[in-house]
Structure 1
């Protein structure tokens, strides 16, 4: 765990354990073994501080344009790393998931999409892409779905109970410009800022999309960023509806306003895509994982942006 991170309510930074050296290793090993054996963690670790972070887009006064980051106990985060390492050993995530997977990164996902677009442009064929946005993805995950998906993925019941205990009776306060709110319970969603949450979310997405992936093979995921591709507009529309149904019946929510459609190498009159009768916004370019992809298959705008960033230092 990196140094210099904001501390949780217990005010114990990870630097304390690093400075104590071998003594810290022995103490934490004993402590974590007790937690894993009893399947109960210290009460203080259940508390957190929620800090709203503006997404730098939209109305600054709208709560929906803020992302909440939880400041949690650093010691608990160290335990989460132990649990994550053990859970990863038994869980297999599909190849279509690029987020938080070993030897995969945003660069790989962007490269795969660009190569696919380039091949269709060179072949003078249309490629239809829908970029699916999930509303408050981490915050919407139902806890019962999380336990179900962990068990279905093969996670040992002991570790399911350990993670359950991490979420039971969790409480937080919101830090704002004028101080902190009163403490309240957190009964839904994954912990934002948690070390374990990204992999837990990958498990949930893997299980919820298991059936639909077989019928929609041209799909890539980076955590909650989903790209559905197809050679025909009708097929990509059908696959979009399959994904919507698979996710929304289990508590997730596809954003109608932020999900967008792009046609690569578009011919005249290729039409639009609809989701439950509502037209999906059609765009000529889309910012995918921080990289601008264009409907003409070129990357001029992204190159220009990077050159400008280089000049600006």
Structure 2
């Protein structure tokens, strides 16, 4: 299978650095159709085996589900006067580092074998790519590692591979994580939350989190995935203010402790509140409004068109993840102030 890679600038960083670009692969349409047929059968056979920790690329699940779990864990623990500890792990170029031979082994362990497995493998035999910039193209070169960028099969294949990582970590660190009781009295526990390669590790003590981070790093190394220590952060959710820092390390390097973290687009803070998230949402609205102010204040544009534009662009930015919020009166007031300011400006 061949792919033509077109690099797109991320919008930040040095344009002379390859890391400032994201490669988009142009693939065969026929190959995409065949890939969809294959992956539908793979999903059918493996969906029930993927752990509840994973919400990426799964029907009926999304980022907000994971954000909700994070906020609920923080709120419940803090309400009981307990601390909860988080490690937000960053996997460096996770798709591009997948060991294909290891992937075939994992798929066979999940019951994908025979002609179906051979069909998946056929997408990776003699795979090659070239790079196109403008009207110029590079020479073709072989690609022997990683999942195919832009392929319809890649997201779910990655899910299966990461589920193997999750299960191995769980076997090695049983007893870590957090446990909570539902309203019906049933108990559930979790130590990892995933959305594709975005991984959040959680524990009820610093020692448990350190052990969880260390084992997660070991399993990733063994499966040829690399954890970016610089971008990985730890956080202690607590009501007690102090200067004692967390001592959580990976490969001998201490992970940076933060007061707030942008998790799947939402701001999670150490106090378990959403004050920081509300401020972030309001700033996002101000940025959007500043960039589109002339459009909203244009007198030749009808009010109905402005309303649709407002509801389609401004409102989603203001209320992303609002399903997970527990608003205080002061925070509601701040949101109302920003909304009324926008509406007054729009209506003239």
TM over 0.5: yes
1:72-131 residue CA offsets vs partner (Å, 9 max, x unmatched): 112211211111111111112111111111211111111111111122222222111000
Residues 192 and 201, structure 2, Cα contact 8 Å, conserved in 1: yes
Pairing partner for 2:19 from 41, 47, 64? 64
The residue that corresponds to 1:79 in the other structure is 34
Pairing partner for 2:90 from 133, 143, 147? 133
The residue that corresponds to 1:248 in the other structure is 221
Pairing partner for 2:199 from 226, 238, 247? 226
Aligned CA distance change for structure 1 residues 55 and 300 (closer, same or farther; 3 Å): farther
Pairing partner for 1:169 from 126, 130, 155? 126
**Unpaired runs of at least 5, structure 1:** 1-45
Of residues 116-125 and 182-191 in structure 1, the stretch that sits farther from structure 2 once superposed is 116-125
Pairing partner for 1:155 from 112, 119, 143? 112
Residues 262 and 282, structure 1, Cα contact 8 Å, conserved in 2: yes
Pairing partner for 1:122 from 79, 85, 88? 79
3-state DSSP of counterpart to 2:35: helix
Q: CA deviation at 1:276?
A: 2.3
Aligned CA distance change for structure 1 residues 292 and 280 (closer, same or farther; 3 Å): same
Q: CA deviation at 1:197?
A: 0.2
**2:265 paired with 1:273:** no
Residues 78 and 239, structure 2, Cα contact 8 Å, conserved in 1: no
Q: CA deviation at 1:185?
A: 1.1
> Which whole-Å CA distance do the structure 2 matches of 1:305 and 1:107 have between them?
16
**2:272 paired with 1:297:** yes
The residue that corresponds to 2:59 in the other structure is 102
> Which whole-Å CA distance do the structure 2 matches of 1:74 and 1:305 have between them?
40
Query: Which residues of 2 match residues 12-51 of structure 1 at below 5 A?
Result: 46-51=1-6
> Which whole-Å CA distance do the structure 1 matches of 2:191 and 2:233 have between them?
17
Q: CA deviation at 1:211?
A: 2.3
Give every structure 1 segment of 4 or more consecutive aligned residues whose post-TM-superposition deviation is greater than 6 Å: none
> Which whole-Å CA distance do the structure 1 matches of 2:192 and 2:220 have between them?
15
Of residues 196-205 and 60-69 in structure 1, the stretch that sits farther from structure 2 once superposed is 60-69
**2:121 paired with 1:146:** no
Residues 233 and 270, structure 1, Cα contact 8 Å, conserved in 2: no
Count of matched residue positions in the alignment of Structure 1 and Structure 2 = 268
**Unpaired runs of at least 5, structure 2:** 177-189, 290-313, 315-348
TM-score (norm 2): 0.72
Q: CA deviation at 1:145?
A: 0.9
Q: CA deviation at 1:159?
A: 1.2
Q: Once superposed, what is the RMSD of the aligned Cα atoms?
A: 1.8
Residues 286 and 294, structure 1, Cα contact 8 Å, conserved in 2: yes
Residues 100 and 145, structure 2, Cα contact 8 Å, conserved in 1: yes
3-state DSSP of counterpart to 1:90: helix
> Which whole-Å CA distance do the structure 2 matches of 1:177 and 1:266 have between them?
55
Residues 71 and 193, structure 1, Cα contact 8 Å, conserved in 2: yes
